[in-house]
Each structure stands twice: as C-alpha cells, then as structure tokens.
Amino acid sequence: MKDLIITSGRLKKEMIIISSCFTTAFLINVAAIIMYKTPWHEMFTQIGYVIVITIVLYLVVAFFRLISVGIIRLVKKS
C-alpha cells in the first residue's frame, strides 16, 4: 500500500482556504445579526451554524477546484 504524503505547502494552502471559508461564514453571521437587529450574543451562540456554513462553503470551493483541475488536465492532454 502506498504512503500518502501531504506536503507543508499543500497543508498551508488548505488551511488558508478553510480559514477564508470560516471568515466568510462568520461575516455572514455578523451581517445577519445587523440586518435582523438581534442581540450580539448570537455571534457566539450561533457558532454551530457558522461551522456548518464553513463546511458547505469548503465543499463548494472543493467542487469548483476539482472541476478546474479536470478541465486543466483535459486541455493539457489535447
């Protein structure tokens, strides 16, 4: 069985992407608090939703990254 090696550059890139997704989800939460004029303690009580939104955003980004890699490989072959 082959060993799976994750380089530090790849790990750093993935951490930046997941951090960007979390920041985006957090800002969406803050915008919702402002728009709906709810108490600011919801910024912390709704952290579960923020994490779910982070995962969804990361999966969407991963989907588009997979599509772009597939297209690049198809173009390189021809």
Q: Does the model's pTM come out above 0.85? A: yes
- Asked if residue 54 belongs to a domain, the reply is yes
- pLDDT reported for residue 4: 87
Distances (CA, A) of 2 to 5, 6, 74: 9, 13, 26
pLDDT tens column, 21-75: 999 999 999 999 999 999 999 999 999 999 999 999 999 999 999 999 999 999 9
The terminus-to-terminus CA distance of the chain in angstroms comes to 32
pLDDT tens for 63-77 read 999 999 999 999 998
- Decide if 1 is inside a domain: no
Q: Which domain range does residue 39 map to?
A: 8-77
- Nearest C-alpha neighbor of 50 from the set 17, 11, 19: 19
Q: Which residue has the higher pLDDT, 5 or 23?
A: 23
The total domain count for the chain is 1
